[in-house]
Amino acid sequence: MSNPSMPAVPMETWRVFVAVPLSDEAVHQLTSLMSEAKGFSGPGVRWTGEGNLHLTLRFLGEVPVKQLDLIKKACQAAADSCQVLHLSLSGTGAFPSWRRPRVLWAGIGGEVPQLTALVARLERELESLVPPPDKPFAPHVTIARCRECPPALSSFWQKAGSRLELPFPAEKIILFRSRLLPGGAKYTPLFTAQLAPPSA
């Protein structure tokens, strides 16, 4: 029987997400383009760090630490169901729109239907562990978040889409812990699940 005079011990939670890492070549192309774009930046623009560029499959938010082993098993089961994917950086975009950009992103092309199927399998594996996502899956790489986006930056990033086309393989998915620190977000890999090798 619990003692009502004893304060409840808060459950430890971690902020986590599942993502596909980018190839070194893809990161290099994005950072080169971002270096140009920063010439049009302003004080209300927060850029993604080079080491933090990734393709998010599912943001889980704050989850109990005691559930992490089950989440790792869900990631492994999803990865086992999918062969290595051939993806590409493809074009640029903005959320919610180019007229009111709050997020600038790089698009994803290639085997997107297979990628979407991987995410659907991941959702099925996670459904008993976390609430469902509040938005449908839209594959992209977040480049910058904007409180106020200078029109010149929005224009540059929109035109830059024609220069962004580079294939890269999706060979694994990673469960990351995200910590929001004064110097920016820090992502720590907790678990890696390799996708199935291509069939002979």
pLDDT at residue 194, rounded to an integer: 98
Neighbours of 76 (CB within 10 A): 17
Domain range for 95 is 14-194
Residues 102-119: pLDDT tens digits?
999 999 999 999 999 999
Residue 3 lies in a domain: no
Residue 4 lies in a domain: no
| Distance from C-alpha of 94 to C-alpha of 121, rounded to nearest angstrom | 27
CATH of the domain at 39: 3.90.1140.10
Neighbours of 49 (CB within 10 A): 13
Average pLDDT, the chain: 94
Mean pLDDT value of segment 81-103: 97
Residue 149 lies in a domain: yes
pLDDT at residue 10, rounded to an integer: 76
pLDDT at residue 183, rounded to an integer: 82
Phi, psi of 149 (to 5 degrees): -100, 120
pLDDT at residue 9, rounded to an integer: 63
Does residue 184 register a pLDDT over 90? no
Is 92:158 a contact under the CB 8 Å cutoff?
A: yes
Residues 119-135: pLDDT tens digits?
999 999 999 999 999 89
Residue 72 lies in a domain: yes
Residue 9 lies in a domain: no
Mean pLDDT value of segment 84-94: 98
Mean pLDDT value of segment 135-157: 97
Residue 6 lies in a domain: no
Does residue 3 register a pLDDT over 80? no
Burial of residue 104 (number of CB atoms within 10 Å: 0-12, 13-18, 19+): buried
| Distance from C-alpha of 145 to C-alpha of 105, rounded to nearest angstrom | 9
Does residue 31 register a pLDDT over 90? yes
Whether the pTM exceeds 0.85: the reply is: yes
Counted domains in the chain: 1
